[in-house]
Structure 1
Amino acid sequence: MHVGGVGTPMVLLHGATSSWRAWRPVLPALKRHHHVVAPTLAGHHGGPVLSVAPENVVPAIVDAVEVALDEAGIDRAHLVGNSLGGWVALELARRGRSRSVVALSPAGAWATPADLDRLLRLFRIGGRIGRLPGTGAVLRPRAVRRLLLRAVSEHPEVLSQADVGELVEDLAGCAVLADLLAGAPDSGGLAPFTPEGPVMIAWGERDRILPFPRYGRPMVEAVRGAQLVRVPVVGHVPMADAPALVSSLITRFTARVDRDADPAEH
């Protein structure tokens, strides 16, 4: 977990197979405006242990984040989530824990069963690759990173050797991945709801993991009243692709929410 910065509370929630370290490129900018808490999700490398039935994995991850909020003395926060973390952020908003939500290509919605099957196959393949000996060494050349990681990031060649090492380490250490994938068909995804607070869904125009027509449109339909923003030049995990753009997108939205908030909350 990473904690730092001063201002209204903000919680950063990473995607499946990742950890809090996915937020490093945008942390300095976000901490200039907010008290930032970036936990590692339950069942992920370095996060709390999770042992539940596969169909209950996502609710259990949401429960664990809510416990962390309670322990930190945070009632409501700006929730910023990517992929699985976006789904978790929206479920926390359903529980009344959000000051606002910025969901970056959130998981949890799909147009057809075939779209879900496609996504599960991608993650199963990625999980197997991440556990192969020597994966980190294979990804050292920039050209190889651009070829093999292009589905995740539009510009994987900008990742340092340390970044790649952490990515592989997090992937290999994600104990909950198999159960998360096994439970997806029975979970039903994100149930439609109308959030009480402001929600922005921001979708990378070059997202190859969750292309907008197949996964974004049903998500926007499920989260009634959410603002939709299409983000240029970024892929599924946009924080490393364009840190300045992503951090500015987030802080402009949260600043507007804070300005509109009841002065008694400040």
Structure 2
Amino acid sequence: MTTVEPFHRGGSGPPMLLLHGMTSSWRAWKPVLPMLEQHHEVWAVTMPGHVGGPPLPDEAFSIDVMVDALVERLDEIGVPRDAHVVGNSLGGWAALELARRGRARSVVALSPAGAWAMPSDLYRLLATFRVGALLAGWAPIRLLASFRPLRRILLRSVSEHADRYSPEDVDILFDDLAGCTALDPLLSAASMDTSIAPFDHAPCPIRIAWSGADKTIPYGRYGRPMMDAVPGAELVVLPGVGHVPMVDNPALVAWTILQQTRDEIAS
């Protein structure tokens, strides 16, 4: 496994922070960085407990513990407190928690994790991640995923068009998973009462963009309780993309993000 830088910084303009999903790293954002950096100074940061990121504290896991460690890292590297924040999956949940703490000028949450209405929905989610991690740790899966015709089948829980991953992208995906130490603590701590705490009101402009072909946390099960938890958030559905949509359709993802900040970058 190669050494992974803990964050990426590039571009110019109003500051923007990008937060990836569970088992990934800042590198998940590489397909959209060129488009976003035309308009923003972009910080893509690896979350605590993920490869290249800071370690998780030695205490019982919770989203607050993870966000505490994330905030400490953001302060260390100088990410402005009023950055626009964009997150996918777990990163979307973390983005919402940063907004709750007054550390976001706006939020775009792409298929954000953290909401479930029924025990069966939580158990399904936990099983999906446990089985996925087990299979990903099986050496032949990585070899099979190196063959383009098989990627779309093997990585369907990640992206709708996983065949668009390059061989380098596949290596990054599996290396990030192998280096993630946050998955087991998160899954072990998850219960019905650890879902996202409801907001009284949206603390800043919030756009929730759900992947229309999300097979990991489909909107029908997980989107409605998320929208109920974040009153006043705008909902958009991104057609033809999976849970991690940046490879599926980089232009659509970048456009969805930039629509949230268009008034500022136009001024």
TM range (shorter): over 0.9
**Counterpart pick for 2:71 among 66, 79, 83:** 66
Match of 2:227 in 1: 220
- Structure 1, unaligned stretches of length 5 or more? 261-266
**Counterpart pick for 1:244 among 238, 248, 251:** 251
1:151 aligns with 2:128: no
1:197 aligns with 2:204: yes
Distance change >3 Å, CA 205–CA 224, structure 1 → 2? same
Match of 2:121 in 1: 115
Q: Is the 8 A contact 1:54 1:182 kept in 2?
A: no
Amino acid at match of 2:255: S
Q: Is the 8 A contact 2:115 2:222 kept in 1?
A: yes
Match of 2:3 in 1: none
Q: Is the 8 A contact 1:135 1:168 kept in 2?
A: no
Deviates more, 1:229-238 or 1:248-257: 248-257
How far does residue 255 in structure 1 lie from its aligned partner after superposition?
Answer: 1.7
Deviations 1:63-101 (A, max 9, x none): 122123323051211000000000000000000001000
Task: Give the 3-state SS of the residue equivalent to 1:102 in structure 2.
Answer: strand
**Counterpart pick for 1:141 among 147, 155, 163:** 147
- Structure 2, unaligned stretches of length 5 or more? 1-6
Which aligned pairs between 1:34-113 and structure 2 lie closer than 5 A?
34-56=40-62, 58-71=63-76, 72=78, 74-113=80-119
Q: TM-score, normalised by structure 2?
A: 0.93
Amino acid at match of 2:215: R
Looking at structure 1, the residues matched to 112 and 139 of structure 2 have their Cα atoms a distance apart, in angstroms, of: 30
More helix by proportion, 1 or 2?
Answer: 1
Provide runs of 4+ in structure 1 moved above 3 Å: 51-55, 257-260
Aligned-residue sequence identity (percent) comes to 53
Deviations 1:193-221 (A, max 9, x none): 02221000000111110110110010000
Q: Is the 8 A contact 1:55 1:184 kept in 2?
A: no
Looking at structure 2, the residues matched to 156 and 170 of structure 1 have their Cα atoms a distance apart, in angstroms, of: 16
Deviations 1:139-194 (A, max 9, x none): 11122211111121010001000000110111111111101101111652110002
Amino acid at match of 2:159: S
Distance change >3 Å, CA 214–CA 54, structure 1 → 2? farther
**Counterpart pick for 1:170 among 165, 176, 181:** 176
Looking at structure 2, the residues matched to 257 and 96 of structure 1 have their Cα atoms a distance apart, in angstroms, of: 19
Task: Give the 3-state SS of the residue equivalent to 1:235 in structure 2.
Answer: coil
Q: Is the 8 A contact 1:55 1:187 kept in 2?
A: no
Q: Is the 8 A contact 1:79 1:102 kept in 2?
A: yes
How far does residue 55 in structure 1 lie from its aligned partner after superposition?
Answer: 3.8
Looking at structure 2, the residues matched to 157 and 111 of structure 1 have their Cα atoms a distance apart, in angstroms, of: 33
1:207 aligns with 2:214: yes
Distance change >3 Å, CA 186–CA 114, structure 1 → 2? closer
Looking at structure 2, the residues matched to 160 and 151 of structure 1 have their Cα atoms a distance apart, in angstroms, of: 17
Looking at structure 2, the residues matched to 126 and 67 of structure 1 have their Cα atoms a distance apart, in angstroms, of: 30
